[in-house]
Amino acid sequence: MLVFSKLIIKKYKICKILFISLAVFIMTFSLSSKSHEKILLLYAPISLSEVIKELINSYENLQNNIKIKPVFMGTSQLVMQVKNGASPDIFISANVEWMDYLERKKIVSKKFRKDFLYNSLVVITNKKNSVNEFINIKELENAFLKSKTKISLAMTNSIPAGIYAKEFLENAGIWQNIKKKYVESTNVRTALNYVSRNELEFGIVYKTEAIGSSKVKIVYSIKGEKHKKIIYPIAALNEKKETIEVYDFLLDNRSLSKTLKWGFEILK
């Protein structure tokens, strides 16, 4: 009986040693894998959040050595972070002017900067509202003036969606009549949310934002000649191998084709 007990104890000790060894091996392998894992920081405007997340998933499914960490904000907020010392590897802007600003500051190089996608502006209202599509700008202006609420816009002096919206309203000849009748938001997503919650009757946002919401409908599509082209430039902010690899992946035609379902247009 004593011999049997010693045998059991011996086997237990051997199993314990094997278990500990296996655990140490797994932990070492896991730490080794993570030590080889590179993390890239990508700054992009909120209007690109869904499509960028999808492209990141596609990229990370192809390999496991590079992880992309996205940061989404209004473009002007992202630019100020970069100006104040933040170091993203890749930067996407919702307009050309902010990217030009970073280029003048020598943060962006022409060598690794390209135009990425097109977008367009639309006027939206909540789906619960019995508002039909407007045929022309005069109908739109009348609806704005008769509305019991203000118009939802992104900030018209710094956020690209708001800058484009103001430019449209000025070129359409209705800015003077409604310039005291709008609410500004720090980004285009917040501008849309005011309408999706039916707190404000109308808003001017990107077409892609409207398509991505189940609570709003488009009542007027704004023609591009009424404002500057809405171009999203992309830039690699360093020449690290992994940065250029991700930069090239995002600009690849297979990646770009995935943006179409969100309402973006591909640059020809």
In the chain, list all ranges with CATH 3.40.190.10: 38-118+229-266, 121-221
Tell me how far CA of residue 170 lies from CA of 86, 161, 165, 177, in angstroms: 35, 14, 9, 10
| Locus of tokens 């990646």 | 255
202-234 pLDDT, tens digit per residue, is 999 999 999 999 999 999 999 877 898 999 999
> What's the pLDDT at 18?
45
Q: How far is CA 207 from CA 38, 47, 57, 85, 213, in A?
A: 35, 10, 24, 33, 10
CA-CA distance, 16 to 207, in Å (whole number)? Answer: 62
CA separation for the pair 167, 169 (Å, rounded): 6
CATH architecture, domain defined by 38-118+229-266: 3-Layer(aba) Sandwich (3.40)
CATH number of 121-221: 3.40.190.10
Instruction: Identify whether the C-beta of residue 73 lies closer than 8 Å to the C-beta of residue 45.
Output: yes
Give the bridge partners for 142, in sequence order: none
Kindly give the confidence (pLDDT) of every residue in the chain, 268 residues in length, as a single tens digit, with 9 standing for 90 and above. Answer: 544 444 444 554 554 444 444 444 444 444 444 456 789 999 999 999 999 999 999 999 987 789 999 999 999 999 999 999 999 999 999 999 999 999 999 999 999 999 999 999 999 999 999 999 999 999 999 999 999 999 999 999 999 999 999 999 999 999 999 988 999 999 999 999 999 999 999 999 999 999 999 999 999 999 877 898 999 999 999 999 999 999 999 999 999 999 999 999 997 6
Q: Which residues pair with 118 in a beta bridge?
A: 231, 265
Task: Collect all residues with Cβ–Cβ distance below 8 Å to 153 and sequence separation of at least 6.
Answer: 161, 162, 165, 166, 182, 183, 184, 185, 191, 203, 204
Report DSSP state, residue 88: -
3-class state of residue 69 by DSSP? strand
Q: Quick one: tokens of 214?
A: 């189940």
Tens of pLDDT, residue by residue over 89-120, are 999 999 999 999 999 999 999 999 999 999 99
